[in-house]
């Protein structure tokens, strides 16, 4: 039984988290542009939902799908999905790593203030922003938060002390923490997590105490307040990004631990794996092919489909795919050859109605200087921007 004061300490004082940090990931380089092609290959019904400069990431639709939030160079903005200007939600010196909506007017933000002059990096905290107010003020919900994930009603997040122990907590639209799992600590640091389709369980990617890698996959039952290990990776393998819980079991991306590109300039090659929720040895995900290179994944709201950014083989261009785990079929949504897609774990999101997927991409960088007549805040191809990709089988209104 944990001491009652332990969680008060965790919520009241930030603790520096060292080691077992997310590996910095650079985008997979696409093939050379096809001669004479103008169409970027993202599909005729693809729609840009941002423009201009800035390193964008972590897209997230609100429940009514009329606004989308994302990060730009670390700060957070949200904007209408149809037309209208973006609204900044944090100061420009804020460093946000993730955004999640808990209601149409409440945005939860995971991030921290910039490093101090001494170089000490502050621990990430969970903040609440009210998008109905024209203010940059944030309400801090909890300190020392390492990961979060939202469902239909709840937002689950992990917090802890260093790399030794983590605990889970639940909050809702108001931002008030209404349940702390104080009696069920998780050994190690929770690097990423996501809810099951029914919202009653959560899958966790965990870095064991003292370990340099995120190598454990665990599940946690939110009703019973108990968790267990599902599988553990051996050797120098690590889990990359956020594992996903589908109706056909757990899926995750994993591969050889790396600190960026290899000495020869090549990108790390990660595979997509599946494992039953009750546990067992992971296997290459059925339906994608043994040469498939996965980068980031996200399950649809109903748990039936898995959006995957990856390559059919190491020499293929990067594209958006949708995997049907039940049918074990992989379908290409884009036929991209001219766009550079971002491949970091949180640069992919489903719309709540599962009709669209948001990705982040830019045109293949030119090696020659160009003079463009358009204002910088209206240029698309030269900068990373959000694109809304319709998913086959759904019709837009």
The pLDDT value given to residue 368:
54
Nearest-angstrom CA–CA distance, 1 and 98: 32
| pLDDT per residue as tens, the chain (397 positions) | 444 444 434 344 333 333 454 444 434 343 333 333 334 568 778 888 988 888 999 999 999 999 999 999 999 999 998 878 889 999 888 899 999 999 998 999 999 877 666 666 677 999 999 988 888 989 999 999 999 999 887 899 999 866 789 999 999 877 789 999 989 899 999 999 999 999 999 999 999 998 889 999 999 999 999 999 999 998 889 999 999 999 999 999 999 866 554 444 456 789 999 999 999 999 999 999 999 999 999 999 999 999 999 999 999 999 999 999 999 999 999 988 778 899 998 899 999 999 999 999 988 655 555 555 555 554 555 688 999 999 987 544 4
Short-list 390, 267, 237, CA closest to 340? 267
| Token digits of residue 189 | 């640091």
The pLDDT value given to residue 23:
40
Q: Which residues pair with 359 in a beta bridge?
A: 348, 387
The alpha carbon of 214 is separated from its chain's Cα centroid by a whole number of angstroms, namely: 16
The pLDDT value given to residue 24:
41
Nearest-angstrom CA–CA distance, 301 and 224: 23
For residue 101, give the H/E element and its range: strand 95-103
Each residue's pLDDT tens digit, 149-201: 998 878 999 998 667 899 999 998 777 899 999 898 999 999 999 999 999 99
The alpha carbon of 305 is separated from its chain's Cα centroid by a whole number of angstroms, namely: 16
Short-list 201, 190, 290, CA closest to 250? 201
| Residue 331: exposure state from Cβ atoms within 10 A (0-12, 13-18, ≥19) | middle
Each residue's pLDDT tens digit, 36-95: 333 456 877 888 898 888 899 999 999 999 999 999 999 999 999 887 888 999 988 889
The pLDDT value given to residue 11:
42
What does residue 396 show for φ and ψ, rounded to 5 degrees? -80, 150
Residue 152 has what DSSP assignment? S
The pLDDT value given to residue 85:
86
The pLDDT value given to residue 157:
97
Tell me the whole-structure pTM to 2 decimals.
0.84
- DSSP letters for 178-235: EEE-TT--EESEEEEEEE-TTSSEEEEEEE-TT-SS--EEEEEETTTTEEEEEEE--T
The pLDDT value given to residue 151:
85
Length of the chain measured in residues? 397
The pLDDT value given to residue 280:
92
Contacts of 310 (CB under 8 A, 6+ apart): 272, 288, 292, 293, 294, 295, 318, 319, 321
The shares of helix, strand and coil residues in the chain, as percent rounded to the nearest 5, are: 5, 45, 55
Nearest-angstrom CA–CA distance, 328 and 17: 39
| Token digits of residue 355 | 């009709």
């Amino acid at each position: 039984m944990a001491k009652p004061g332990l969680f008060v300490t965790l919520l009241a004082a930030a603790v520096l988290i060292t080691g077992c940090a997310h590996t910095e990931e650079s985008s997979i380089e696409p093939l050379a542009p096809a001669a004479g092609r103008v169409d970027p290959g993202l599909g005729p019904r693809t729609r840009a939902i941002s423009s201009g400069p800035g390193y964008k990431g972590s897209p997230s639709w609100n429940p009514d799908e009329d606004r989308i939030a994302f990060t730009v160079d670390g700060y957070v903005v949200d904007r209408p999905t149809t037309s209208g200007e973006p609204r900044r939600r944090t100061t420009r010196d804020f460093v946000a790593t993730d955004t999640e909506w808990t209601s149409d007017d409440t945005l939860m933000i995971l991030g921290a203030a910039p490093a101090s002059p001494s170089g000490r990096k502050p621990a990430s905290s969970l903040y609440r922003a009210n998008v109905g107010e024209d203010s940059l003020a944030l309400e801090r919900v909890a300190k020392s938060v390492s990961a979060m994930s939202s469902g239909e009603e709840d937002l689950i997040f992990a917090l802890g002390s260093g790399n030794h122990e983590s605990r889970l907590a639940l909050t809702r639209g108001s931002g008030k923490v209404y349940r702390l799992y104080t009696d069920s600590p998780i050994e190690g640091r929770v690097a990423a997590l996501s809810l099951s389709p029914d919202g009653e369980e959560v899958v966790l990617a965990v870095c064991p105490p003292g370990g340099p890698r995120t190598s454990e996959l665990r599940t946690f039952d939110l009703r019973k307040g108990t968790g267990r290990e599902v599988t553990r990776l051996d050797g120098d393998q690590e889990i990359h990004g956020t594992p996903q819980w589908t109706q056909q079991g757990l899926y995750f991306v994993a591969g050889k631990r790396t600190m960026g590109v290899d000495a020869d300039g090549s990108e790390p090659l990660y595979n997509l794996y599946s494992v039953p929720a009750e546990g067992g040895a992971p296997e290459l995900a059925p339906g994608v092919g043994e040469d498939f290179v996965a980068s980031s994944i996200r399950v649809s709201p109903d748990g039936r489909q898995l959006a995957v950014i990856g390559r059919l083989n190491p020499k293929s261009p990067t594209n958006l795919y949708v995997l049907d785990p039940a049918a074990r079929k992989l379908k290409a949504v884009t036929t991209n050859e001219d766009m550079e897609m971002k491949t970091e774990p949180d640069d992919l999101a489903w719309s709540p109605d599962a009709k669209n997927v948001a990705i982040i991409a830019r045109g293949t960088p030119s090696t020659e200087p160009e003079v463009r007549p358009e204002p910088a805040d209206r240029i698309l191809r030269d900068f990373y921007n959000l694109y809304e990709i319709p998913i086959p089988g759904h019709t837009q209104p």
